[in-house]
Structure 1
Amino acid sequence: MNLSTLQTLLFVPANRPDRFAKAQHSGADAVIIDLEDAVSITEKDSARATLAAWLDTQPPASVLIRINGTDSPWFNNDTRLCRSPAVAAVVLPKADDPLALAELANATDKPLLPFIESARAFANLTEIATTRGVARLLFGKLDLAVDLGMDYPPPAGQDPHEMAFLFARSQLVLASRAAGLAAPIDAIYPPIDDPQGIKSYTQRGLQLGFGGILLIHPKQVAPAHEAYRPSSAQILWAKQILAAAETSLGAAVAVDGAMADAPVMARARRIMESSTPSSS
């Protein structure tokens, strides 16, 4: 599993093994089996035991596991579970301590996908992004909203005001790039039966520089993938830019009344690369 190219990551509760295969066949790029929020306190140990038996039947590096936090009573046992060859990477919630991340990487010998979802995590963002073992950063907006005392989420049907998270999202994108990490993974979109909504939400994340999104239901997979495919208008624009670039030998040139210089040409090439079947 190439963690750097994952675009759609689908959560499935660890206490619902009947859903594991469905999640794996949903079309998502990766499945995150969740031992944390999706599992009640009374089911933590039984869910872990069930998951351990299932992992023994899976191919190497085929799934991701979200464990319980470092300050929880289940953390040590979850950590041991993640040594399974079937685990491709460990998803750590409420990650805010670079030292704890380094220790987890040593204990599991697996790449880490830390959730950035608190003020302290953002204060330590540079150190977290450059910690050995960290592969990509994940955005947890719901926990961040609680930590910051934000008026979010609103009641159903009201404007979610995603602009409130613009600063946080931009910090994740910038820190990832500065640390040489792949583009971060955006937070979940809670509505399940809203294909156009999640498509638009995913596209906005893409505009900000996010390279993937966390999903909570198989219904969200197809519209999310569609959001990452360039539109016909984008492809036409890119072809025009690259044709003009070939004529101008890479020098800045006007296309449809707008300047196209080296960064614009690079954007056009990226669109064409992402429109090929091999990158989908």
Structure 2
Amino acid sequence: MAAVGAATTLRQAGAYYGRSLPRRAVLTVPSSDWKKLTKLPTFTNTDCVVLDLEDGVADTAKQTARENIFRYLNESASKINREICVRINSMSSNHINDDVKLLKDLSTLIDCLFVPKVDSIDEIKWLADRLGSNRQYNLVLYCESAQSLVDLRSILTSASNLFPLQGVVFGSDDFSADVGINGRYSLDAYELTYARQKLVTICRLFENAQPIDMVYINFKDLDGLKKQSEQGAAWGFTGKQVIHPQQVPVVQTAFSPSESSIIWAKELIQAYEKHEKEEGKGAFTFRGQTMVDKPLLRRARYILNMTR
């Protein structure tokens, strides 16, 4: 594959570069399936499409998947009005060198690079070194093991110094296997409570590191998906992995602020700015009951940022 030519994408137009807005529904599509790739323009409400080279692709189909990505992004990327990303194989796999070659050929054709199974700082440094001048990719990492969770703060510190770091995905299935959860975790995923909440907490130490929650495997169970999505949103996740288009509207609704919260946020910010200008003081009473200070103001601004 040769380097790309004059194809234009949303990244080149600047619509996603350096973005800080949450990816609510992160839809992963196996790149070995050309038919599914050609259907992407119909996924009109998906925030983020991830073209997969990893778990969704059989070992025997990896090269086909790379060729499909290259062809698709050169022919059709400009037709998709949403973020387009690529998930490569893990850096411990036998496929990573060929994936890096593909990334260099793609140049600026993708908006963000998703990197699975990141367990150490050395892996991030290796990837940065191999990409060289192509290191401009926005980066989202996967936390999928006990080692990754324990060292997540140092991993993200290193990543943020080498790439535009934009998020962390919780890979629940691999994590569960790694820590020895017997059988499949329950529908409410209470076995993963500690890991999910720790991931959110660490992400909040980094300005643009969006915490993206676990996948809900039973794509036909939309009620269960809704419950888990609302739980994740309440815990501080900004989005969730999805594996089927019908999951998208449920997830994006759960991770979007309600109309009443948007009104609350706008009024609070207006009142805060007016109070600060007229009184020169920080804290004040809002709507006759809420004592407003800087933390609450940050919450209001975050809500409005989610609506852009």
TM-score, structure 2 normalization:
0.77
Is 1:72 the counterpart of 2:93 in the alignment? yes
Letter in 2 for 1:251: A
1:232–1:179: structure 2 CA closer, same or farther, 3 Å change rule?
A: closer
1:100–1:259: structure 2 CA closer, same or farther, 3 Å change rule?
A: same
Letter in 2 for 1:146: A
Report the alpha carbon displacement of residue 96 of structure 1 after superposing the two structures with TM.
Answer: 0.6
Q: Report the counterpart of residue 123 of structure 1 in structure 2.
A: 150
Q: Report the counterpart of residue 54 of structure 2 in structure 1.
A: 36
Q: Report the counterpart of residue 74 of structure 2 in structure 1.
A: 56
Task: Please list, as runs of the form range in 1=range in 2, the aligned pairs for 1:129-144 lying within 5 A after superposition.
Answer: 129-131=156-158, 132-133=162-163, 134-144=165-175
Report the alpha carbon displacement of residue 179 of structure 1 after superposing the two structures with TM.
Answer: 3.1
- 99-108 or 123-132: bigger deviation: 99-108
CA distance in 1, matches of 2:49, 2:258: 27
CA distance in 2, matches of 1:169, 1:127: 17
TM-score, structure 1 normalization:
0.84
SS class of match (1:56): helix
User: Unaligned 5+ residue runs, structure 2?
Assistant: 1-15, 277-281
Letter in 1 for 2:55: D
Q: Report the counterpart of residue 92 of structure 1 in structure 2.
A: 115
Contact 2:169-2:214 within 8 A present in 1 as well: yes
Q: Report the counterpart of residue 151 of structure 1 in structure 2.
A: 182
CA distance in 2, matches of 1:184, 1:199: 18
Deviation per residue, 1:103-158 (Å, 9 max, x gap): 2133232232221010111122112111221432111011100000113524xxxx
1:274–1:32: structure 2 CA closer, same or farther, 3 Å change rule?
A: closer
1:179–1:264: structure 2 CA closer, same or farther, 3 Å change rule?
A: closer
Contact 1:252-1:262 within 8 A present in 2 as well: no
User: Unaligned 5+ residue runs, structure 1?
Assistant: none
Q: Report the counterpart of residue 185 of structure 1 in structure 2.
A: 212
Report the alpha carbon displacement of residue 261 of structure 1 after superposing the two structures with TM.
Answer: 4.3
1:47–1:246: structure 2 CA closer, same or farther, 3 Å change rule?
A: closer
- 26-35 or 1-10: bigger deviation: 1-10
Deviation per residue, 1:177-198 (Å, 9 max, x gap): 2233332111211121233332
1:273–1:180: structure 2 CA closer, same or farther, 3 Å change rule?
A: closer
CA distance in 1, matches of 2:292, 2:25: 32
Contact 1:105-1:111 within 8 A present in 2 as well: no
SS class of match (1:184): strand
SS class of match (2:90): coil
Letter in 2 for 1:216: I
Q: Report the counterpart of residue 40 of structure 2 in structure 1.
A: 23
Report the alpha carbon displacement of residue 19 of structure 1 after superposing the two structures with TM.
Answer: 0.9
Task: Please list, as runs of the form range in 1=range in 2, the aligned pairs for 1:6-21 lying within 5 A after superposition.
Answer: 6-21=23-38
How many residues end up aligned between the 2 structures?
Answer: 272
Q: CA RMSD in A?
A: 2.7
1:67–1:222: structure 2 CA closer, same or farther, 3 Å change rule?
A: same
Contact 2:166-2:210 within 8 A present in 1 as well: no
Letter in 1 for 2:61: E
